[in-house]
Amino acid sequence: MLRTADELRAELLAKKRQREEEAQKREELAAQARGAVYDLVFLGLSFKEILQRTSIAPQTLALMFKELKLPYRMPTQIYESPKPVVASPRSTPPVEPPKPSDRFGADRWSKEMVIEVSDSEDEDEMEIDEVSSSTPSERSRSADSGELSTVDDVQSRIRELEEKIKIMRDKGSVEAKLQEVLSQRELIAQRRQKIESQVGEFKIDQLTSSIEANRVELNRLQNTIAAQTQTLKEAQNAAKQLSVQLSTLESRDRVLASKQIQLKAVKKEELESSDESDTELTIEMGTETGQVSVNTNTQPKVCDFAYSSPLHIFSSHRFSPFANVFAPKYNSRYVSSDRLYCKTEASGKTCRDDTCPDVHASDFNISKQETLRHLSEAVVGDPKEFRKGLAKQICELEKVSTEFDPLEVAKVIIDYRHGLDPVRFLDWNELNA
């Protein structure tokens, strides 16, 4: 079942909001982690120390260092005391290692210290007090180890720490910087969310329009398939009817063929009986002309006279005032009075002589093609336009029907002429002027 565009749009918007919330949560967690890493680096921890003290993966920590634009190895303020040198019995007296620079005084190698720098003034003062309170013990240790240590060294170290704290306070607190960075990130996230919402709405509109277009195309295809299915059913029904009619016609043809065979047999028997009862006929063949002459001893059954149809008075054109105009068109249909009717056909038989000069019944029939020709000669309006339109109608009939049916062609001609002029009785003088 197809869902509506509103349902699809609501589903897409819900998925989009869910993805945005998940991305925002991940961004917040990443920002918190980056802030914690920045604080640790600011306090002097190196990449390796942060990796040891936290559960962050090395790749993630490296990515955070890249985002914060920090090197992987940072100087630390955690120092270890050197290992003592053990003198072997065969070696020379031990040699003391060289002393490092007195940046933080001579006590650098004598005590393991961790100095943390904080933004609050109370913690800074506590660190300074701790360093100040540790000076007597340091003096005693230095005196015991043979090293020279004075109060000036400790005071110089305290002053150096105070200057460092002052410089850091002048530059601004870490919290303010973090707050500024977080505000900028929130602004960037809002802009990104706005852009993504606009892009999502645009994509939703495009998807909705494409769905509507696909739905219209689907409806059109369904209608086409339904129409074709209906046409196919009608064609199948017509084919069934034609098959039934064809079987009926075949059965009729078989019956007619059997009847014709029976009729021929009956006629043959009648001819044989009539030949036996007739008088003797003498047939003489001409040697030069090849003509056949029939001589009988009895009187002929049919008199020798010119054939004149008793229905000639019913020819409609003879009663027309324009009979003389149409006479040349129909003279070929009338038999000359000089020719005699065939005696064989007059006696009821069939004349099978192709060279018989007499008139036969087939000579009085008008062919179907000639009948159609006479129908098409009754022009209405412009002759060129009339013939052009009539030819078009007949061509359309030929496309539909593959067999030549004179009755269908005559119907097309009559309907075409009546469409141009609905009058049933035509003015022959006007049509043939």
Residue 402 lies in a domain: yes
The model's pLDDT over 135-175, given as tens digits with 9 standing for 90+, comes to 444 444 444 444 444 556 666 767 777 777 666 655 555 55
Give the type of residue at 217.
Answer: E
Do residues 34 and 67 make contact, with C-beta atoms less than 8 angstroms apart?
yes
What is the H or E stretch that residue 330 is in?
A: helix 323-330
Do 371 and 350 belong to one domain? no
Last residue of a domain, one of 318, 347, 363: 363
Q: Which pLDDT does position 298 carry in this prediction? A: 47
In order, the DSSP letters of 196-207 are: HHHHHHHHHHHH
Q: Which pLDDT does position 304 carry in this prediction? A: 54
Give the type of residue at 197.
Answer: S
Please list the alpha-helical segments (H only) found in 278-303: none
Q: Which pLDDT does position 75 carry in this prediction? A: 40
Which residue stretches of the chain have pLDDT < 70? 1-3, 72-155, 157, 165-178, 272-337, 422-433
Residue 370 lies in a domain: yes
Last residue of a domain, one of 336, 363, 390: 363
| 317, 327, 328, 371, 376 from 322: Cα distances, Å | 8, 9, 12, 20, 19
Buried b / exposed e along 100-129 (16+ C-beta atoms within 10 A): eeeebbbbbebeeeeeebbbeeeebeebbe
For residue 391, what are the domain limits?
A: 366-433
Do 370 and 354 belong to one domain? no
Q: Which pLDDT does position 362 carry in this prediction? A: 78
Q: Which pLDDT does position 196 carry in this prediction? A: 79
Whole-angstrom distance, CA of residue 113 vs CA of residue 41: 18
Q: Which pLDDT does position 335 carry in this prediction? A: 60
Count of structural domains, the chain: 2
C-beta atoms surrounding 131 within 10 Å = 19
pTM over 0.85: no
Do 345 and 391 belong to one domain? no
Do 394 and 431 belong to one domain? yes
Q: Which pLDDT does position 318 carry in this prediction? A: 55
Do residues 106 and 147 make contact, with C-beta atoms less than 8 angstroms apart?
yes
The model's pLDDT over 383-400, given as tens digits with 9 standing for 90+, comes to 788 888 888 888 888 887
Residue 111 lies in a domain: no
